């Protein structure tokens, strides 16, 4: 990185490549004032902005100080520019009080590709679109031209969503020009990559800092990015033992599904009972009783049953989130202790979660944070032997009339909330001495999640093959999150959301399971409406096929463990875009529906229905089809893809060839 200052001009270059530039005719910074309106309904946000003023700031002074280079922009804003190796940081030292809108321009290239911005579901390459960054429900259908999205918008308060809606937004991106940019700001943001000449990054506050860092390769760049943001710890060894079965309905039903699966030869790592806390029925489907202790009627003697599971080498997982229903026992305890966020009139702020109301545990209050960490996570979950859980939500912090203990505006805290929630779980596990033994998985995220989230899951996809909310969005989610520093991801096998007669089929489930066999964790879910959706344990053939896929997953464990360890040590994601290892291959920059599993396997999931053949793009190197042993070369290849055999290839000459060949010997064609 090179900084050049002359004649009231500032330029930042990476080699010959100009990243930042400002002079009298080329503003880098715009500032202004705006007034927003924000409406939330059950985690879905309608946000409108009225910009009252927007004006460019030109460079009027540049002074070299003992701290660094101080840029003065018309007396309205001062930026301190510091450099360490290949990282340059612009830190806001002073800003006029009336500024609450900030626009920052980064020089762009017409052929450039952009990745990251958290976990994006619809588009991996962000170029050509803008991305509002605000954690929320991801939306149902997520395509305004579809019937499901239309009905979700009309009947469920705008729940249809759009291509940019995500549980995990982050103001961080990676450029194909070998640099990353991170904005230190949790206010509402909108990163716009539509202009050929520049990227315009908007935040509804002056950022604390903007950091750019470069590296000669993408692997090295991600190592630098994750060294800065933090890295996920390794997964517990037990997750590689088999499937995590999602079951519910109480002891008899849940343990019955487990036993039936074992009898059919399905290897099981864990039993996940999300309704361990009880259930309630709403118009959306079966929901949970948000009172985070085991339900003594549905799951009597649960600690004893968990102990028995442990003796057979199987773990037990539950569910929690950072809200408490106002008709539960823990809510009453928390209310006495004053742990909930308040309204301006001093009453507890209650959030509508869909026919029931919950208090918001104020994670900015050290007393509330400690109570939830110790009383709820440690005592009610870890201390009774629970080995993991879905750490759900984190997106729902309201912005209207809510008062937080730290006095910070909820418009600033909203995007910070998922990372606070992740850290609460992390601290509970670490303080219990269980880091590396317990795994919790989250859908919400933000800056800071990298260090505190043991495992991502891709959220609530529809139970279908739809382009913006089906199986293929899981691939995009994993790739984009990996380019933001979270390289451990997995999904609900078969999707989750089943509305408006959209029900999961056997084909959807098995295609999803094929892909999940080549992900760090395999986990099933019965859906929000389990009674109307296909369940594998009701079909003999599906149990046989699932047993085979789970066995493939367990056979891959030695390989997968090395990838997970690499993610923890260097930030190299487990599921990788093709260009990460094939930088000279132009086509690899546009592939978002296939991925490298490590450097030696390429996976191209079948994400459309009714297919028996599939077109696969292979980068340079020779590739061996995992199921047949047939060799394929660089370019587009049509391969057979019967149900059960998602297209997977290993690199010819791989040091793991013996392992891959053992899979073909057992399950190949």
Active site residues: 392, 395, 460
Helix (H, G, I), strand (E, B) or coil at 431: helix
Half-sphere exposure of 103 (CA within 13 A, CB side): 19
Q: How many helices (H) and strands (E) does the chain have?
A: 15, 39
Query: How far is C-alpha 238 from the chain's CA centre?
Result: 22
Q: Which of 276, 461, 269 is nearest to 384 (CA)?
A: 276
Helices (H), ranges, 357-470 = 366-371, 380, 410-413, 417-431, 449-452
CB-based contact 57:49 (threshold 8 Å): no
Give bridge partners of residue 533 from the DSSP assignment.
none
Cα–Cα distance for residue pair 231/167, rounded to 1 Å: 19
Is the distance from CB of 17 to CB of 181 less than 8 angstroms? no
- Cα 356 from Cα 229, distance rounded (Å): 37
Q: Contacts for 62-65 with beta carbons within 8 Å, 24 or more apart? A: 62/5, 62/8, 62/10
Residue 97 has a CB neighbour count (10 Å cut-off) of 5
For 432-462, letters b (16+ CB in 10 Å) and e give bebbeebbbbbbbbbbbbbbbbbbbbbbbbb
What's the CA gap between 212 and 200, in Å, rounded? 15
Report, in this order, helix, strand and coil percent for the chain, each rounded to 5.
30, 30, 40
Task: Rounding to the nearest 10 degrees, give the CA dihedral for residues 263, 265, 267, 268.
Answer: -20
**CA–CA dist 557, 550 (Å, integer):** 11
Report the C-alpha gap between 107 and 197 in whole angstroms: 6
Write out the H or E segment, with its range, that includes residue 13. strand 9-14
């Amino acid at each position: 990185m090179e900084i050049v200052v002359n004649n009231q001009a500032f330029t930042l270059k990476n080699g010959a490549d100009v990243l930042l530039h400002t002079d009298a005719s080329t503003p880098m910074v715009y500032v202004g004032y705006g007034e927003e309106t924000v409406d939330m309904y059950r985690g879905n946000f309608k946000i409108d902005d009225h910009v009252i003023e927007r004006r460019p700031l030109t460079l009027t002074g540049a002074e070299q100080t003992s701290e660094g280079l101080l840029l003065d922009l018309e007396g309205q804003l001062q930026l301190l520019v510091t450099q360490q190796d290949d990282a340059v940081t612009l830190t806001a030292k002073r800003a006029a009080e009336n500024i609450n809108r900030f626009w920052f321009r980064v020089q762009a290239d017409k052929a450039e590709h952009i990745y990251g911005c958290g976990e994006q579901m619809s588009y991996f390459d962000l170029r050509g679109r803008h991305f509002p960054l605000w954690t929320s429900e991801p939306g149902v259908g997520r395509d305004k031209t579809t019937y499901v999205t239309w009905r979700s918008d009309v009947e469920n308060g705008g729940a249809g969503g759009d291509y940019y809606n995500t549980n995990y937004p982050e103001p961080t991106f990676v450029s194909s020009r070998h640099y990353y940019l991170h904005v230190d700001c949790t206010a509402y943001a909108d990163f716009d990559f539509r202009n050929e000449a520049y990227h315009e990054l908007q935040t509804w506050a002056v950022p604390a800092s903007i950091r750019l860092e470069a590296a000669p390769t993408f692997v090295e760049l991600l190592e630098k990015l994750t060294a800065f943001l933090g890295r996920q710890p390794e997964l517990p060894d037990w997750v590689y033992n088999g499937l995590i079965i999602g079951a519910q309905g109480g002891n008899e039903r849940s343990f019955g599904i487990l036993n039936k699966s074992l009898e059919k030869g399905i290897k099981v790592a864990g039993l996940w009972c999300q309704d361990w806390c009880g259930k309630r029925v709403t118009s959306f489907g079966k929901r949970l009783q948000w009172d985070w202790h085991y339900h003594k009627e549905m799951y009597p003697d649960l600690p004893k049953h968990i102990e028995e599971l442990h003796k057979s080498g199987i773990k037990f997982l539950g569910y929690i989130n950072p809200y408490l229903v106002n008709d539960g026992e823990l809510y009453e305890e928390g209310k006495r202790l004053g742990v909930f966020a308040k309204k301006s009139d001093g009453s507890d702020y209650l959030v509508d979660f869909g026919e029931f109301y919950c208090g918001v545990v104020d994670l900015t209050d050290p007393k509330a944070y400690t109570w939830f960490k110790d009383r709820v996570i440690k005592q009610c979950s870890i201390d009774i032997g629970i080995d993991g859980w879905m750490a759900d939500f984190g997106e729902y912090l309201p912005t209207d009339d809510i008062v937080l203990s730290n006095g910070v505006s909820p418009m600033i805290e909203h995007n910070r909330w998922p990372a606070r929630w992740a850290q609460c779980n992390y601290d509970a596990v670490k303080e219990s001495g269980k880091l590396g033994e317990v795994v919790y998985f989250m859908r919400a995220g933000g800056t800071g999640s990298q260090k505190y989230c043991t495992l991502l899951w891709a959220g609530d996809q529809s139970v279908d093959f739809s382009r913006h909310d089906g199986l293929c969005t899981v691939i995009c989610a994993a790739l984009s999150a990996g380019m933001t520093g979270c390289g451990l991801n997995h999904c609900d096998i078969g999707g989750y959301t089943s509305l408006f007669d959209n029900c999961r089929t056997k084909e959807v489930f098995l295609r999803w399971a094929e892909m999940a066999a080549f992900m760090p964790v395999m986990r099933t879910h019965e859906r929000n409406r389990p009674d109307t959706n296909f369940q594998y344990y009701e079909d003999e053939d599906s149990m046989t096929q699932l047993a085979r896929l789970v066995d493939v997953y367990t056979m891959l464990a030695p390989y997968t463990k090395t990838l997970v360890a690499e993610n923890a040590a260097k930030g190299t994601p487990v599921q990788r875009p093709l260009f990460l290892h094939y930088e000279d291959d132009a086509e690899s920059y546009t592939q978002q529906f296939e991925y490298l599993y490590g450097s030696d396997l390429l996976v191209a999931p079948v994400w459309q229905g009714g297919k028996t053949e599939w077109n696969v793009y292979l980068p340079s190197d020779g590739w061996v089809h995992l199921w047949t042993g047939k060799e394929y070369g660089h370019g587009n290849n049509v391969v057979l893809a019967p149900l059960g055999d998602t297209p997977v290839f290993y690199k010819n000459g791989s040091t793991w060839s013996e392992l891959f060949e053992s899979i073909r010997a057992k399950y190949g064609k």
